[in-house]
Amino acid sequence: MKRFQGKNIVITGASKGIGTEIARQLSLQGARLILVSRDMRALTRVREDLITENKNAQIELIPCDLGDLRQIEVAAKKIISIMPSIDGLVNNAGYARPGYFHELPIDEFEKAITVDYLGAVRLTRLLIDAIATHGFISVTSSVVGYMGVFGYSSYAGAKFALIGFAETLRQELAERKIQISVLCPPDTQTPGYEEENKTKPKETLALSANAKLMTAADVAKKFIRGVSKGKFIITCNFESAMLYRLHGIMPSLVFRIMMSMINKAKKT
């Protein structure tokens, strides 16, 4: 039996990349989906593609900018009217703009916190009473959510905050038997990643030069497998899992390794 057959699941950031692939794989398992994104045209194309793959797909679309509290409130009401009981909430919406800290406009930090962090917090708060017992809530953080990376000062703050938020929910919602998971993908081939490459400092490019890009489909598989197994932190490949453990045990060693790579890049 498929783990998510007949489950009601809400996915934000579903119009592209990892969010689209999570939607695809859950749809193929027979989940009933509400897809949320500010890009309604892209959402419509995603739904058409998913119905082509699975004629029995049950998919509703709700446009919402996760950086706008009023839109989140409207979207939450629509979600509850469609799904009074929610089995899964996938907080996946987010964006990143890498750059040198001293060159990034201050509003980039505000935007990152508003969209990546507060967007998830606000939607979760408005839907929390509708989350079913034995349901799950997930947030998409990043490798940059558990270790800072050169060039990602605005992004790292928001992604670190998501992990702290999730750790707290994990404790508070344990009595309701609601599972909390944090997806921490490494570099992944998505439209967002391509956009990030336009502003990455050379040091940031050097840090990821030898890393193999994951596909959004593979990240989605890891996510679904991790949620099915009840994992809290979901790393997606050997390298990111190793970094997670090593950074937790010997953060100074990770720092020295990264600084060696950064300093080498500075000389080129």
SS3 238: helix
Token pair in block for residue 23 = 């939607």
Which value, to the nearest 10 degrees, does the dihedral of the CA atoms of residues 13, 14, 17, 19 take? 90
CA distances from 174 to 54, 136, 198, 224 (A): 35, 11, 42, 20
Burial class of 98 by CB neighbour count within 10 A (0 to 12, 13 to 18, 19+): buried
Q: Is the distance from CB of 29 to CB of 1 less than 8 angstroms?
A: no
Q: Is the distance from CB of 152 to CB of 206 less than 8 angstroms?
A: no
For the annotated catalytic residues, the residue numbers are 141, 155, 159
- CB atoms < 10 A from the CB of 132, how many? 17
Closest C-alpha among 162, 147, 65 to residue 113:
162
Half-sphere exposure of 142 toward its Cβ, with a 13 Å CA cutoff? Answer: 23
Burial track 70-79 (b if 16+ CB lie within 10 A, e otherwise):
ebbeebbeeb
Burial class of 253 by CB neighbour count within 10 A (0 to 12, 13 to 18, 19+): exposed
